[in-house]
Amino acid sequence: MAAPCYLGWDFSTQQLKVIAIDEQLRVIYEDNVHFDKDLPEFKTQGGVYIHSDRLSVTSPVLMWVKALDMILEKMKSSGFNFSQVRAMSGAGQQHGSVYWKKGSIQILKNASSELPLHQSLKGCFSVSDSPIWMDSSTASQCRALEKALGGAQHLANVTGSRAYERFTGNQIAKIYSQNPEVYKQTERISLVSSFAASLFLGAYAPIDYSDGSGMNLLQIWEKAWSKPCLDACAPGLEERLGCPVPSHSVLGPISPYYSQRYGFSPDCKIVAFTGDNPASLAGMRLQEGDIAISLGTSDTLFLWIQEPTPALEGHILCNPVDSQTYMALLCFKNGSLMRERIRDECASGSWDEFSKALSSTVAGNSGNLVPRTRILATGGASHNKKILQCFFPQVLSDVFNAPVFTIDTANSACLGSAYRAIHGLVAERNVSLADVVKLAPEPRLAVTPTPGAEELYRPLLKRYAELEQKVIYNPASSCLVK
């Protein structure tokens, strides 16, 4: 009998990624499908469509489904033994939403294993292009939601965040306002994470607490939808969202479609999918007192927190591995996209040239433009040591005056999802994720602060904070920082 393994998925902005780990938590398989390169028929750029107003940003739902078909076929061709998969979980880019047309549940449940899934589901979506986290077209909906809840701070007290344009509740409100007939024809609204789980479950998967707390709709203390928030966004919204569930929930067995087409065991369990940042928290085995920084399509900073106080900047989310605690998150939109643009314009598109330029620049950049704890870095850019030491947002290790650690894979959301798949099988027995991942390799030291850097950067912190406030509150810059 084949040794058991566990799958972790990540439906990210630019790629679909998968990792398989064995019971010793060793990565035994890793693969991806790059949307622009591998699915050119969808004509995305960076996995998205940026519309003419430059504010609306969407991704085609069927591209995600076809990517799943493609990666499963790649795994099958490689000889991957699907029958050994005992459980799986996954992650999705946060805030994006998928709109299932009335009657789609039956099509999803009865999909023919003779066909690729994207062919069966091509008529299932009332909105063919999903609004995603890069969208910033809902300013009026945000103002209306904050007004309905008695102000931005009160909304943050309830949902963990003031109204943000990319957050799902405001995106739903826009669709209802501009296309009420489309909304009327929608029987279920998923996040990207719960949409991906639905594909494997063969039924509508519930939204988990952690990803659900990035919607401006969930009461993060009670772990239930806020009726005032729902009512402010669209009528009949609660029935379209379903009931949220703990992030470690086992949703059920895998759909027969996958057993018949790929040879998955019918006993393979689907553990609730969550957002990519919460999944990274699990993948990086974050401990209280650590800070994690993800250098992905967007740059995010997050940490485990016991007793949060929601503010007008940043976000408080439910912790994906401990339902009694929370995670705090700051997001800098388009982080990697901006780095790549600077690389292309200033370093001939070469990371080597980029690194040489950084190396030749004195610490502190001649004055041109926190907590002391361990920093863990992940994301696509985290394997470039010069970026780790000198770039995010200008400097990481030097500005924070702390060592930076990385894990062996940049795909921490995938790895965290695989860990969470194991955890979901034992969580009801009060086994913690920390107990589950004891065998996992410890993060490794990547860089340490440059001697004397603290004295250089301390006087720059006040100036940086002032400049950041100008950027945040300048409407022309809203596409850069939120």
Domain ranges of the chain: 5-277, 280-477
Element holding 33 (H helix, E strand): strand 27-34
Here the tokens at position 133 are 């986290």
Homologous superfamily of 280-477: ATPase, nucleotide binding domain (3.30.420.40)
Buried b (16+ CB within 10 A) or exposed e, 25-44: bebeeebbbebeebbeebeb
- pLDDT tens per residue across span 241-297: 999 999 999 999 999 999 999 999 999 999 999 999 999 999 988 888 788 887 776
Does 93 have pLDDT greater than 90?
A: yes
How much is the pLDDT for 368? 61
| Mean of the per-residue pLDDT values of the chain | 89
Tell me the pLDDT tens digit for each residue of 144-184: 999 999 999 999 999 999 999 999 999 999 999 999 999 99
Average pLDDT over every residue of 352-370: 67
Cis ω for the linkage preceding 4 (within 30 of 0): no
pTM of the complete model: 0.87
Residues of the chain with pLDDT > 70: what percent? 89
- Rounded Cα distance between 446 and 97, Å, is 36
Q: Compare 293 and 472 and report the one with higher pLDDT.
A: 293
Number of neighbouring beta carbons within 10 Å of residue 472: 13
Work out the average pLDDT over 384-411: 65
Distance CA 110, CA 113 (A): 9
* 5-277: CATH, from 1.10.150.450, 3.10.129.10, 3.40.1190.20, 3.30.420.40: 3.30.420.40
Q: Establish whether domains 5-277 and 280-477 are of one fold.
A: yes
Can you tell me the distance from the alpha carbon of 459 to that of 286, in angstroms, rounded to the nearest whole number?
30
Q: What is the pLDDT of residue 370?
A: 44
* 117-131, 297-311, 388-402, 406-420: range with highest mean pLDDT: 117-131
**Which range, of 107-116, 380-389, 423-432, averages the lowest pLDDT?**
380-389
- Number of residues that make up the chain: 482
Q: Which of 89, 93, 92 is nearest to 21 (CA)?
A: 89
Q: Cα(416)–Cα(319) distance, rounded to whole angstroms?
A: 13
